A and B are shown apart, each in its own frame.
Chain A
Amino acid sequence: MLNFLFRKEHQLEKLIYDYLENLGMIQNHFTKAMNLCLKEGVSDDFCFLMDQTHKFESVADEIREEINQLMYSKALIPESREDIMGLLEKVDEIPRSFEQILNMSRTQKLIFPDFLKLDIQELIRVSLESCDLMIKQIDVMLKKKEGIKTLLSTIDQNESHCDHIERRIIIKLFDSDLEPFLKLQLKEMVIVMGEISDQADRVSKRVNIINLKRRI
Chain B
Amino acid sequence: MRRRSGRQTVAGWLFVTPFTILLVAFLLLPMAYAAKLSLYRSTLVEGEVFAWLGNYRQAFGDPEFRRGVVRVVVFGLVQTPVMIGLSLVFALLIDAGTSRLARFFRLAAFVPYAVPVVIGTLMWGFLYSPRTGLFSSVSDLDLLSSGTVLYSLGNVVTWQWAGYNMIVLYAALQGLPREVYESARIDGAGPLQIAVRIKTPMISAAIVLVTIFTIIGTLQFFTEPLILQPLDPGTITNSYTPNVYAYHQAFSYQQYNYSAAISFLLGAVVFIGSYIFLFVTRRRSALR
| A and B held together in a complex | no
